[in-house]
Structure 1
Amino acid sequence: MRILMVCLGNICRSPMADGWLRHKTKQHGLNLEVDSAGTANYHVGKKPDHRMRRLSLDFGVSIDELRARQFSVADFDNYDIIFAMDQNNEQNILQLARNNKEKEKVKLLLNELHPNQNLEVPDPYYGTDANFKEVIELLDHATDAFLFNHQLITKQ
């Protein structure tokens, strides 16, 4: 299974979701491919935000090797599930879909944790370290829920 995490700039939320899922894939010996992208091209080629990199290490997850890239139509061909961090990015992705099959791949990540509530992962970019930690913990729980919901692990 191939999973793509998507936010706006691909330097905070989506690389952290990517990092958590990669970490858990390795930890549980799962056969998942994980990547991340942004709907905007603001930070293409750059490392994740320095605060997200620093604070993620406190949780034992390194995202230093990740580099921002922009979401493209080809991602519909390359990924089985495309998780948006919020409704604006979900809509941006859906606008690029060429058919209903591609649209069905696009989901809000937090619906894994809170089904059908369409909650959004808050963007911590203009916030404090506490906001980044809150997002990291939320993404930890959401990626656990994904693995459990898809029966890739047996307990959360």
Structure 2
Amino acid sequence: MSFSVCFVCTGNICRSPMAESVFRARVEEAGLGGLVEVDSAGTGGWHEGDGADPRTVTVLRANGYESGHVARQFRVSWFAGLDLVIALDQGHLRELRRLAPTDADAAKVRLLRSYDPAAGAELDAPDPYYGGMDGFEECLEMVEAASEGLLAAVRKVVEEQAA
């Protein structure tokens, strides 16, 4: 039985594919690759079928992450197969919880930066799309910081399931 995580941002070309790549690398490094599935999507379908934003790809590659990606829109039917739906900002959190068919599904939706104790009250990962490369680099730093706490939480659940 695998544990399934889906990262969700607006168009699935900047933040969520970045989070997907980083978290997948953390999962593999932790030896959990066969136990944890990692994916991403957007709340909207504007970029379905497109690759990740070239700036996302550049930042990921420069930091040693894989960057193959095809954008897609989150589907309500996916809730049934997901253990965690990780929103990148408050707007995504509200939208996903509104879409959730049950209270249990709504409870699966969490903010990525809530897994970073250093984030404090600022839990949104700002959208870098309309800015320069520095916004993408800052986003990667936020994603990496939160991925450590998320990995610890996921590892705990996976180990409990295996026991």
Instruction: Give the TM-score normalised by structure 1.
Output: 0.91
Amino acid at match of 2:80: D
Note the alpha carbon deviations across 1:15-67, whole angstroms, 9 max, x for none.
0000001111122211210000000111001110001101111110021x211
Is 1:135 the counterpart of 2:139? The answer is yes
Cα distance in 2 for partners of 1:118, 1:103 equals: 21
SS for the counterpart of 2:110 is strand
- Contact in 2 for aligned 1:3/1:80 (Cα 8 Å): yes
- Contact in 1 for aligned 2:116/2:149 (Cα 8 Å): yes
- Contact in 2 for aligned 1:2/1:32 (Cα 8 Å): yes
Unaligned runs of 5+ in 1: none
Specify the alignment match of 1:93 in structure 2. Answer: 96
**Structure 1 runs of 4+ off > 6 angstroms?**
none
- Contact in 1 for aligned 2:27/2:151 (Cα 8 Å): no
1:6 pairs with one of 5, 8, 12: 8
2:57 pairs with one of 48, 53, 60: 53
Identity rate, percent: 36
- Contact in 1 for aligned 2:113/2:125 (Cα 8 Å): yes
Cα distance in 2 for partners of 1:116, 1:54 equals: 28
Unaligned runs of 5+ in 2: 157-163
Structure 1 vs Structure 2 CA RMSD = 1.5
Specify the alignment match of 2:69 in structure 1. Answer: 66
Between Structure 1 and Structure 2, the one with more helix by share is 2
Count of paired positions: 151
Instruction: Give the TM-score normalised by structure 2.
Output: 0.87
